[in-house]
Amino acid sequence: MKTVSLRSQEIDMLRSQPCPRKHDDPFWRGHIVPIEADPNKRKSPEPIPRFAGTGVEMALPCLSVTLSRDWCHRRAFLAAGLRPSVTILADGAVIHCWAPARPDPSRLPLVLLHGFGATAIWQWSGHLRPLRRAGFDLYVPDLLFFGASESPRPDRSEAYQARCVMAAMEEHGLRRFGLVGVSYGGFVAYQMAAMFPSAVERVVLCCAGVCLEERDLAEGLFVVSNLIDAAEILLPQRPEKLRQLVRLSFVRPPRIMPSCFLRDYIQVMCTDYAREKVELLHALINERKHLILPEITQPTLIVWGEQDQIFPLELGHRLKRHLGDNAQLVVISNAGHAVNLEKSREFCENIIKFFHGSAYTDQNGLKV
């Protein structure tokens, strides 16, 4: 298989470049390195098949159904006027992000955060067109240990993810923006809204169980009762576990899921950073012991699939009670955890209505 990708050697080289000082906090001193959109024009003498799912690589589609689909997602991002880049932070973290090739100050900046089972391009390629038509400038990063984003630090908390994403958005020139997070991305979005209230104008949380408690596992709120079982499903390494994940995520899953296709998907999408992703999942659950969930002050839209089996609807109602009148809960019928995919049109319509429903303050502090 011939694959051209962003190589680990290149990342090490980029990390060694000096970072311009923009903030007193050394964490924020980063810089953006653009990635050539056409892999055939990039100077990579020793191609290494790494970082599938970033949209950086190009492979012969006939060799892998998953890589073929990955290529289609990548083309959708390019067609939407987005280009890939990496932001190298001072602590060594790398944030890969798709951002507008030509940012338009008249458009509303919107940051989209993916969930645990996908990378940026797999989660959001089907939503780019309606959101672009609605007047948004889209910024779509890969969270740490997904796609080509990584960090040498041992911190696996949502707070660290939030700081890294915020640092990358600062480097892209965003001062104020809207934020949408799906599932695990919603955990990170919630932290960003709490930590950076002057930057996050409004936030959409889709099937994000940020109000879950450690005891919920033992008390039977979920289909699993412990972290080991949860990791085997959410981070599948065998076709039967991926099949189970799909059936839990969709109200109407595909009737036929051949094992050969599932193995192909696992090989391409589920093997990179497997240990780090397990650590992310453990941090997500274990930190609930001591976490006092802050109340965010931004207007918040909570979107939930009525038949969600990953994060049951009870968690959506719990989050609404926690935020009170500052939040509105939209429950979409005949949809599960993957409501953004099963009911993508309704999902986008709710996002657009939420951000355009009242005056929105752009990144320069102006009402639009």
Q: Give the C-alpha separation, 223 to 230, whole Å.
A: 9
Sort strands 58-59 and 82-88 into parallel, antiparallel or unpaired: unpaired
Asked if residue 364 belongs to a domain, the reply is no
Q: Which domain holds residue 151?
A: 80-356
Asked if residue 47 belongs to a domain, the reply is no
- How many C-beta neighbours within 10 Å does residue 344 have? 15
Task: Work out the burial of residue 235: count CB atoms within 10 Å of its CB; fewer than 13 is exposed, 13-18 middle, 19 or more buried.
Answer: buried
Average pLDDT of the residues in 236-249: 95
Q: How confident is the model at residue 263 (pLDDT cuts 50, 70, 90)?
A: very high
- Walk across the sheet containing 327-332 and list its strands: 31-34, 82-88, 94-100, 136-141, 108-113, 177-182, 200-206, 300-305, 327-332
Inform me whether the pLDDT recorded for 54 exceeds 60: no
Asked if residue 128 belongs to a domain, the reply is yes
Token pair, residue 111, equals: 């940051």
The reported pLDDT for the residue numbered 36 is 57
Taking alpha carbons only, the member of 52, 221, 186, 202 closest to residue 113 is 186
pLDDT 10s digits, 336-360: 999 999 999 999 999 999 999 754 4
Token pair, residue 43, equals: 């100077």
329, β-bridge pairs: 302
- Provide the strand spans (E) within 67-148: 82-88, 94-100, 108-113, 136-141
pLDDT 10s digits, 97-127: 999 999 999 999 999 999 998 899 999 999 9
Inform me whether the pLDDT recorded for 146 exceeds 70: yes
Asked if residue 31 belongs to a domain, the reply is no
The reported pLDDT for the residue numbered 52 is 46
Q: Report helix, strand or coil for 14.
A: helix
pTM, rounded to two decimals: 0.84
Asked if residue 15 belongs to a domain, the reply is no
The reported pLDDT for the residue numbered 16 is 46
Asked if residue 11 belongs to a domain, the reply is no
Asked if residue 17 belongs to a domain, the reply is no
Q: What is the number of domains present in the chain?
A: 1
**Percent of the chain whose pLDDT exceeds 70:** 79
Q: Let me know the angle formed at the C-alpha of 81 by 80 and 82, rounded to the nearest 5 degrees.
A: 95
Q: Which residue has the higher pLDDT, 161 or 56?
A: 161
For residue 164, give the amino acid letter: C
Q: Which residue has the higher pLDDT, 64 or 24?
A: 64
* CATH label of the domain that carries residue 247: 3.40.50.1820
DSSP 284-336: HHHGGGT--PPPP-S-EEEEEETT-SSS-HHHHHHHHHHHGGGEEEEEETT--
For residue 296, give the amino acid letter: I
Residue 343 host element (H or E) = none
Taking alpha carbons only, the member of 144, 172, 168 closest to residue 157 is 144
Q: Give the C-alpha separation, 304 to 205, whole Å.
A: 9
- How many C-beta neighbours within 10 Å does residue 38 have? 9
Phi, psi of 227 (to 5 degrees): -65, -35
Least confident interval from 4-18, 22-36, 296-310: 4-18
The reported pLDDT for the residue numbered 76 is 96
The reported pLDDT for the residue numbered 45 is 33
Inform me whether the pLDDT recorded for 283 exceeds 60: yes
DSSP 136-194: EEEEEEPPTTSTT-B-SS---SHHHHHHHHHHHHHHTT-SSEEEEEETHHHHHHHHHHH
Contact of 21 with 69, CB cutoff 8 Å: no
Q: Which residue has the higher pLDDT, 35 or 260?
A: 260
pLDDT 10s digits, 168-195: 999 999 999 999 999 999 999 999 999 9
- The separation between CA 276 and the C-alpha centre of its own chain, rounded to angstroms, equals 16
Average pLDDT of the chain? 84
Asked if residue 202 belongs to a domain, the reply is yes
Q: Give the C-alpha separation, 215 to 223, whole Å.
A: 14
Token pair, residue 278, equals: 């397990």
Inform me whether the pLDDT recorded for 243 exceeds 80: yes
Distance set, CA 62 to CA 46, 122, 275, 277 (Å): 22, 19, 30, 29
